Amino acid sequence: MHTDRATRLQPVHLNEADDGALAREARSDPQAFTQLYGLYLDRVYRFILLRTGNVDDAQDLTSQTFLAALESVQKYDGRGSFGGWLFGIARHKIADHYRRRRPDVPLEQAESLHHPDPDPEEVADAHLQLARVAQALQSLDAQQAEAVALRIFGELDAGEVGQVMGKSEGAAKMLVHRGLNKLRTRFSLEVSR
């Protein structure tokens, strides 16, 4: 059966057990890793973009994340979700990035997500919304901002957020809850002005 490259790279929607099984299969079959790449690429990129505020850095770190995952997929033991494991790698790549250099680029300059045929109005609107969210996230403490970014932009559940951050599921839920409440308060104050 012939499949072209574009078809193989389409995101596959799997549950946690499926992506864990696919990760174990990827140890010996690169095609299985390609499916995981398609499933997680946008989520990892959005998370990294939100944390770095720079499209070039986000692209580089996303590539580094997937390369590191491919090189160490043998070490994935299946004890947590593959998504949590992958976002843990992304989190470490971001930390390494900030250790190497302290960027002075304001988050307001973060560009919209990559899209092959973006509508200019949608790009401008997404640009403004991302800048607004990124600025609001700066008002949170670092752990709340990371937990909210993992939950909302990384689309991880509370258990996976806890796994990535080295916290219990309950602690992760609390960080997300408090962070979202602070953001709601901030946005409601902006609207009422």
What tens digit of pLDDT does each residue of 68-117 get? 999 999 888 877 788 989 999 999 999 899 888 654 545 555 454 444 44
At how many degrees (to 10) do helices 30-52 and 120-138 cross? 70
User: pTM for the complete prediction?
Assistant: 0.60
Q: Is the pLDDT of residue 174 over 60?
A: yes
Q: In whole angstroms, give the CA distance from residue 159 to residue 174.
A: 12
Q: Specify the higher pLDDT residue, 104 or 43.
A: 43
Closest CA to 137 of 122, 156, 152: 152
CATH class of 10-110+119-192: mainly alpha
Provide the b/e sequence for 101-138 (b: ≥16 CB within 10 Å): eeeeeebeebbbbeeeeeeeeeeeebeeebbebbebbe
Amino acid 68: pLDDT: 94
Tell me the pLDDT of the chain averaged across its residues. 78
Instruction: Select the highest-mean-pLDDT range: 22-26, 65-69, 148-152, 157-161.
Output: 65-69
For the ranges 91-100, 112-121, 126-135, 162-171, which has the lowest average pLDDT?
Answer: 112-121
**Among 7-16, 39-48, 54-63, 134-143, which is the least confidently predicted range?**
7-16
- What pLDDT, on the 0 to 100 scale, is given for residue 101? 66
The yes-or-no verdict on residue 45 having pLDDT over 90 is yes
> Do you know the residue count of the chain?
193
| Selected residue with higher pLDDT from 99 and 41 | 41
